[in-house]
């Protein structure tokens, strides 16, 4: 080796190559090394380097000796130990197994949702099973599986996958690919196996996957089997199996590789008026909805876990689902299972006990049906949409009843509609007037039991608005009397004061502060639960409809409940807030969560759903008392009191506010009809309230003389009496 040192850029480089050259010479022969040692050209620094090289050579030689000794010890002395280690050491896989879902009971322990055992054909995938083997098993199982399983969806890609799982078919399709199709057109590099397979799929012709029913069923089974993770188990079919089907699988256990007969659970819902609010769960085939998958996987769910999709099943998914069993499976290099370890021990889902007594719920439902039938008989129900009622404990928020019936005005068919009590929103009418007066207090537009003149309100450019009882006259009334008589003009004057424009005959309304005043009014309504989330413990409840047109006419109409819409649940929470001295509590359907264990079907108490206060209305205790006094006068006042029918036969004293909002609807012939929504918010007893009630009866007819039904009041009275007869007020 010759190196031109003069061409090197630095002394360091020249020195490095000089030493490298000398080392190479040393490695050729000992004689040359000796000559180099005696040569005059070597200086003292070079001799020191040679000594270091000798030490390095010695260290390398020693390490080689150690390595050879270690290999001898492993391959000769302890060969059998390491052969065994090689066989038993392999990969590990984590397997998740689902558990039984918790059940749901009413307040008295009556089961509303239970689990029913269902026979299944299961497939457990081993880590050595090939696509061809799964295809063969799928074909065999297709001859046994129930007919109902043929309804599964199968895509064209699924059909191609099943076709290509046959090695002969795959080989034939592979021949269809030209050499140029097997490489990347831009880079010339060979395509990956996945890229090639995608091209194989495209080469499969429609004629080749034009399966008959039996083959198509096998393809569907193959799809489910192929999607199963190693060591995981998938249900291929569920339903009652005949003795012949079970025998066929048992007799062909070896050829039906991975197939077994087992059991799973299916949800059984009781036939009651609460069924619609119980919700539903997904099937194992559906598994976790795509939009929720990431969240559930973080919680330890498996992809094919069954989860609640609505209402109680979804709202209490974490409690009902339970804990999955998680196992770690170890396999050797040959794919044989050598060990199984439980990482997480599964637990059954917890049970729920509701706040609703099914008998009381049914009683409220019957009250709705009875009074709705009566209003129809009286000629008010031709286009009525139904009737709804919610009963709630004002201090705890426990819901005692959530009832509803829907009327099909075309057919006259009556159906249970408990969900309508939380989802359907209607114009509330005069029941909002306690909220309007409270808004006046909050915004310094009223003081205490202030007296205003109930008088016709004439706004420039619009028709006059007046109360039903004054007939165009002027009558000084207080805030309490405004509630007792249900004065519209008292409310209009209150919101005009909030706007900063006290009423003057034929006045014009300036709109610069209109939007802000609308917000102030709605803010107070929201403190009572109107137009906002109630906090209900299940999803699906409506907030009602908040109008977007903030003009002067809608602002005035809003003051006496003729613009925004609310649900029966919101009315019940509104009444409960007044009964509870201004504290708004969260309404809840679940009383307690129970561990699924012990001899008692309900289990052992795990936790009680505690009462939670959302907010307190921003008015004084004295002013809350005025609202309560006004509601008392509605049912106990003089001849002009608007809610006196509630006390006709009532077992205890009831505080209430009625509302009759004017609406329009069309009959079956498209004719416009003058209708109303008849509502009530109430609580009982008047002293120490134990229940609060929201009632809505939408779209009842108004007769030409202006009369309408009192079904809303009779429903309220009957609910109070039912509670008294079943539990007694304490």
Cα 679 to Cα 253, 312, 394, distances in angstroms: 66, 27, 19
Among residues 10, 37, 13, the alpha carbon closest in space to that of 26 is found at 37
Among residues 127, 125, 118, the alpha carbon closest in space to that of 149 is found at 118
Q: Are 594 and 320 in contact (CB under 8 A)?
A: no
Cα 354 to Cα 112, 373, 591, 604, 615, distances in angstroms: 10, 30, 5, 15, 24
Q: Are 428 and 571 in contact (CB under 8 A)?
A: yes
Q: Exactly one of 272, 430, 517, 559 is catalytic; which is it?
A: 430
DSSP line for 386-445 = EEEEEEE-TTT-BEEEEEEEEE-TTT--EEE-TTHHHH--B--GGGGHHHHHHHHHHTTS
Q: Are 685 and 729 in contact (CB under 8 A)?
A: yes
Alpha carbons within 13 angstroms on the beta-carbon side of residue 123 total 29
Torsion on CA atoms 482, 486, 487, 493, rounded to nearest 10: 70
DSSP 327: E
The secondary structure of 242-294, three-state, reads CHHHHHHHHHCCCCCCCEEEEEEEEEEECCCCCHHHHCCECCCCCCCCHHHHH
Cα 474 to Cα 169, 226, 451, 505, 507, distances in angstroms: 95, 82, 12, 13, 18
Torsions phi, psi of 198, nearest 5?
-60, -35
Direct distance between the N- and C-terminal alpha carbons of the chain, in angstroms, rounded to an integer: 111
- d(CA 520, CA 618) in angstroms, rounded, equals 12
- d(CA 281, CA 288) in angstroms, rounded, equals 10
The secondary structure of 109-168, three-state, reads CCEEEEEEEEEEEEEECCCCCCHHHHHHHHHHHCCCCCHHHHHCCCCHHHHHHHHHCCHH
The residue assigned the tokens 């009423």 is: 503
Q: Are 259 and 249 in contact (CB under 8 A)?
A: yes
- d(CA 623, CA 619) in angstroms, rounded, equals 6
- d(CA 374, CA 371) in angstroms, rounded, equals 5
- Is 430 tagged catalytic? yes
- d(CA 714, CA 729) in angstroms, rounded, equals 19
Q: Which two three-digit tokens encode residue 402?
A: 């959530």
- d(CA 280, CA 320) in angstroms, rounded, equals 12
* Burial label, 319 (beta-carbon count in 10 A; 0-12, 13-18, 19+): middle
Torsions phi, psi of 423, nearest 5?
-115, -30
DSSP 678: E
- d(CA 626, CA 448) in angstroms, rounded, equals 8
Residues forming beta bridges with residue 331, ordered by sequence position: 337
Residues noted as catalytic: 430
């Amino acid at each position: 080796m010759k190196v031109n040192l003069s061409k090197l850029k630095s002394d360091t480089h020249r020195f490095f190559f000089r030493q490298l050259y000398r080392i190479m010479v040393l490695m050729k022969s000992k004689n040359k090394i000796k000559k180099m040692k005696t040569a005059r050209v070597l200086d003292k620094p070079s001799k020191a380097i040679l000594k270091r090289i000798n030490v390095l050579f010695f260290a390398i030689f020693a390490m080689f000796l150690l390595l050879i000794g270690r290999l001898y010890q492993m391959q000769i002395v302890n060969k059998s130990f390491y052969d065994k280690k090689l066989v038993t050491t392999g990969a590990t896989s984590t397997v998740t197994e689902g558990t039984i879902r918790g059940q749901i009971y009413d307040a008295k322990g009556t089961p509303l949702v239970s689990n029913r055992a269902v026979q299944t054909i299961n497939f457990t995938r081993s880590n050595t099973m090939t696509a061809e083997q799964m295809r063969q098993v799928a074909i065999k199982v297709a001859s046994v599986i129930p007919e109902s399983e043929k309804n599964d969806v199968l895509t064209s890609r699924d059909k191609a996958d099943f076709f290509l799982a046959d090695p002969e078919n795959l080989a034939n399709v592979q021949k269809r690919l030209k050499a140029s199709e097997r490489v990347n057109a831009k880079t010339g590099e060979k395509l990956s196996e996945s890229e090639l397979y995608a091209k194989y799929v495209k080469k499969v012709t429609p004629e080749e996957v034009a399966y008959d029913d039996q083959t198509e069923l096998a393809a569907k089974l193959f799809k489910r089997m192929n999607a199963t993770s190693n060591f995981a188990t998938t249900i291929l079919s569920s339903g009652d199996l005949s003795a012949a089907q079970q025998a066929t699988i048992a007799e062909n256990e070896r050829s039906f590789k991975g197939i077994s007969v087992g059991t799973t659970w299916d949800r059984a819902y009781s036939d009651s008026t609460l069924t619609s609010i119980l919700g539903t769960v997904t099937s194992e085939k559906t598994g976790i909805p795509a939009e929720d998958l990431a969240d559930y996987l973080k919680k330890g769910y498996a992809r094919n876990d069954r989860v609640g999709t609505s209402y109680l099943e979804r709202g209490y998914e974490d409690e009902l689902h339970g804990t999955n069993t998680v196992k770690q499976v170890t396999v050797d290099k040959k794919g044989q299972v050598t060990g199984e370890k439980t990482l997480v021990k599964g637990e059954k889902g917890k049970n729920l006990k509701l706040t609703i007594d099914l008998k009381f719920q049914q009683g409220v439902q019957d009250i709705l049906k009875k009074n709705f039938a009566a209003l129809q008989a009286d000629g008010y129900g031709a286009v009525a949409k139904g009737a709804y009622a919610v009963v709630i404990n004002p201090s705890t928020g426990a819901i005692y009843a959530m009832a509803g019936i829907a009327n099909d005005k075309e057919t006259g068919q009556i159906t249970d509609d408990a969900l309508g009590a939380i989802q359907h929103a209607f114009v509330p009418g005069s029941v909002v007037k306690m909220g309007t007066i409270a808004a006046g207090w909050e915004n310094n537009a009223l003081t205490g039991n202030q007296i205003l003149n109930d008088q016709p309100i004439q706004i420039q450019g619009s028709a006059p608005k007046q109360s039903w009882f004054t007939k165009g006259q002027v009558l000084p009334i207080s805030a309490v009397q405004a509630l007792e008589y249900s004065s519209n003009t008292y409310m209009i004057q209150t919101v005009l004061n909030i706007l900063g424009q006290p009423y003057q005959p034929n006045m014009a309304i300036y709109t610069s502060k209109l939007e802000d005043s609308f917000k102030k009014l709605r803010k107070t309504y929201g403190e009572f639960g109107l137009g906002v989330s109630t906090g209900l413990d299940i999803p699906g409840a409506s907030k009602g409809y908040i109008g977007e047109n903030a003009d002067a006419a809608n602002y005035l109409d809003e003051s006496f409940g003729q613009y925004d819409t609310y649900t029966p649940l919101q009315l019940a929470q509104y009444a409960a807030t007044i009964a509870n001295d201004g504290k708004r509590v969260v309404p809840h359907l679940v009383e307690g969560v129970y561990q699924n264990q012990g001899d008692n079907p309900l289990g052992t108490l795990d936790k009680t759903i505690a009462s939670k206060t959302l907010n307190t209305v921003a008015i004084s205790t004295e002013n809350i008392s005025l609202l309560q006094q006004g509601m008392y006068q509605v049912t106990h006042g003089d001849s002009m009191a608007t809610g006196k029918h509630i006390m006709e036969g009532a077992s205890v004293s009831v505080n209430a506010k009625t509302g009759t909002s004017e609406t329009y609807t069309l009959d079956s012939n498209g004719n416009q009809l003058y209708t109303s929504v008849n509502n009530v918010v109430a609580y009982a007893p008047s002293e120490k309230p134990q229940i609060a009630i929201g009632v809505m009866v939408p779209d009842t007819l108004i007769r030409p003389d202006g009369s309408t039904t009192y079904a809303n009041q009779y429903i309220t009275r009957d609910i109070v009496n039912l509670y008294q007869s079943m539990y007694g007020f304490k």
